[in-house]
Amino acid sequence: MIFRSAKAAPRAVEAGVGANTPGGGGAAGGVPRHVAIIMDGNGRWAKGKGLPRAAGHKQGAEAARKVLRAAGEAGVECLTLYAFSSENWRRSAEEVGDLMGLLRFYLRSEIEALHKEGVRLRIIGDYKAFAPDIVKLIEQGLQRTAGNRRMTLAIALNYGGQAELVRAAQRLASRAAAGEIGPGDIDEAAIAAELDTAGLPPLDLLIRTSGEYRLSNFLLWQVAYAELLFVDTLWPDFGADELRAALAAYGARERRFGGR
């Protein structure tokens, strides 16, 4: 079961700027349509408990399940999770292997539950760089959940924000070279339409766990006017209460979209 009744939330530590789409104004209020999370701290969580890093990643995957449930209950339309960056390939072969095994396990065990709850799976990043069996599982999950409309779960796999922008620029350059568009046709909307996140709601809130204050090459274009929230909680300890606190912090902010 993915969704169930929610509890009250404690207060969150916050620090943020901006809003999502220029031209709006006033208090943010309500629930953000699109929330993204940099899930950081699995390794430190495991080290603090004297456990292998793999245990931290497993607990982090369970945290993701809890947060997805809480986001759906709160009315969030899209939840984007930074699961595996293009830089994560630099980690030890053992750790990458553990992460791939965990990805296989959850793709096999969770897709049907997502489908039954009306959750659409979306992948951002170059997932085709993974092993063929993982690619097959991903594409089966995408196909199985394609028609769902209750909520979208976007998972960033082999994702890097700079590479995403390069791909978008290359596609637009190819279209321009073919005479399909002119230089004047390339504007913010044209670039956004070529990004991995095309078709998703604009990003409202970006959360990073574990006390770090950086974006780590995540959603560099999309975060331009999003609210930013940094919390000290390590990702495996981040659950429904912490998400609800983050949503409450978002709702208390005033979003000016560059105006007053």
101: left (phi over 0), alpha (psi -120 to 50) or beta: alpha
**Three-class SS string for 60-76?**
HHHHHHHHHHHHHHHCC
Instruction: Sheet containing 227-230: give its strands across.
Output: 119-124, 151-159, 78-85, 34-38, 205-208, 227-230
Q: What tokens appear for 249 in the block? A: 């912090």
Question: Which one of 40, 98, 196, 204 is the catalytic residue?
Answer: 40
Active site residue 185: no
Helix (H, G, I), strand (E, B) or coil at 219: coil
Strand extents, DSSP E, the chain: 34-38, 78-85, 119-124, 151-159, 205-208, 227-230
Q: Say which DSSP state 185 is in.
A: G
Active site residue 88: yes
Helix (H, G, I), strand (E, B) or coil at 2: coil
Question: Which one of 88, 126, 148, 217 is the catalytic residue?
Answer: 88
Cite the active site residues.
40, 88
